[in-house]
Structure 1
Amino acid sequence: MRLRHWIPVLSILLLPTVTGCGSLGSSSNSDANSDNSVNVPAQQWIMSNPSQKSGIIDLEANYNDNDGGMNFDGYSNGAMTVTVPKGWTVQVKFSNDSSMTVHSVMVVPFSDRTNSSFTPTDVAFKGAATPNAESGTLNGQTQTFIFTATKPGKYAIVCGIPGHAALGMWDTLVVSDTSTSISVSTK
């Protein structure tokens, strides 16, 4: 079993802002891993704590070989949608499973999802990117960032490494006025 599957459990133990009566979100697809090594329900990549209006999203770059490894948790080209209630504080825990390529993660306006390059000022919300998103995170490293989803709308979760988002390494983030917990759906 990969260590990443334990991250939400460890986060509850180590992060006081999400302790308490957290609940898992929902998913329409329970198998993002086409290499058949482990079938992990997508809802295990998120933790939601409605009482504290906060949650955790666990993203792993190059989770499997889908789209040549240019994916988050096995999804790319908008096949995964994470929905977050407006006003919630979100902690993103990002890890890179690629042994050959650096990756990063940023939340940007949806219209920018396939840009060939990004800068730190391109983020949709203050703090919504891994440190040094344009230079990336090495294999086996984990980086964390926290942002508040202040504006409802449709955004993109992208890799900030030049060219990666243009190759399809992006998924969707929706900030919703009506949601009461963080959820994930997949195509």
Structure 2
Amino acid sequence: MMKRSTLPALGAFVLFGCGGGESDQPSPAPAPAPAPATASATEAAAAASGAMAVDWISVDDGARTVTIDLVAGSTDVNNRWNFNGYANGEATVVVPVGYAVTVNFENRDPVNYHSFSVLQRAASYPAIFDDATPVFEGAVTSNATSMTEATAPGGGTESISFTASAAGEYALVCPVPAHAVTGMWIGFDVSDSGESGLRS
């Protein structure tokens, strides 16, 4: 008895079942996505580095200025010993090197006096500061180490200005006794890449 070969039938199935009759021309390329809106150099640097824009940090690249609205005790975080709701170095303000910085400081803590000074970044801070001299001239509020003469609770304000003249990693620290050691500090970086904003 003669066996019939199934090979020609199988070949026909493979040819037509796998689309052998279709054109070998490549599929048309998908339409390109619309171009994103043009960002400023500062926004682009911030996006690339992870810093984000926040409403309490304003940067004017043309004038080379930064304005920071820094609020002590704005939330209940860390028993109100915080800056804009951040404590224990969990956020970092970033400004470009060489920019003039103005800090409008407000103390919303209803009970405690607070202050700030731009100091070297450290793993920990002392309970009592013998000296709170800032790394940049003028980068400290009045009577920064006093429990009774720093910026008053319940809405006391003070504005200071300084130039962020050297790139590096610093911190905004409250040198009122016992405040920094219990976490009242956040990072303050001066960037030589033009970056600005907040990293958290």
Q: Equivalents in 2 of 1:164, 1:98: separation in Å?
A: 13
Residues 1:124 and 2:135 aligned together: yes
CA distance in 2, matches of 1:130, 1:121: 10
The Cα of 1:179 is off from its aligned counterpart by: 1.6
Match of 1:137 in 2: 151
| CA offsets 1:89-135 (integer angstroms, 9 cap, x no match) | 00001100111100011100112752223356521110001111112
- Is residue 51 of structure 2 the alignment partner of residue 51 of structure 1? no
Alpha-carbon spacing, 1:87–1:112, altered in 2? closer, same or farther (3 Å): farther
Structure 1 contact 83–179 (Cα < 8 Å) conserved? no
Contact 2:121-2:170 within 8 A present in 1 as well: yes
Q: What TM-score, normalized by structure 2, do the two folds share?
A: 0.69
**Counterpart in 1 of 2:74?**
63
2:85 maps to 1:85: no
2:57 pairs with 1:76: no
Pairing 1:94-105 to 2, within 5 Å after superposition: 94-105=105-116
Which 5+ residue runs of structure 1 have no aligned equivalent?
Answer: 1-22, 31-41
Q: Read off the aligned partner of 2:159 and give its amino acid letter.
A: T
Q: SS of 1:166's equivalent?
A: helix
Question: RMSD value over aligned CA atoms?
Answer: 2.5
Distance 2:85 2:61 in 1: 27
* Alignment partner, residue 23 of structure 2: none
Q: Which has the larger radius of gyration?
A: 2
Match of 2:177 among 157, 162, 185: 162
Where structure 2 has 5 or more consecutive residues not aligned to the other structure, the ranges are 1-41
Contact (CA 8 Å) 2:91, 2:186: kept in 1 or not?
yes
Q: Secondary structure at the match of 2:180?
A: coil
Return the TM-score normalized by structure 1. Answer: 0.74
Amino acid in the other structure paired with 1:92: V
Query: Paired residue for 2:37?
Result: none
Match of 1:107 in 2: 118
The amino acid across from 2:151 in the alignment is T
Distance (whole Å) between structure 1 residues aligned to residue 130 and residue 91 of structure 2? 24
2:4 corresponds to which residue? Answer: none
**CA displacement, residues 122-174 of structure 1 (integer Å, 9 cap, x when unaligned):** 21110001111112111211101011011111001011201100000000000
How many pairs are equivalent? 153
Please tell me whether the aligned partners of residues 103 and 161 of structure 1 are also in contact (alpha carbons under 8 angstroms): yes
Could you tell me how far 1:29 is from its partner in structure 2?
A: 9.8
Q: Decide whether the 8 Å contact of 2:117 with 2:132 is kept in 1.
A: no
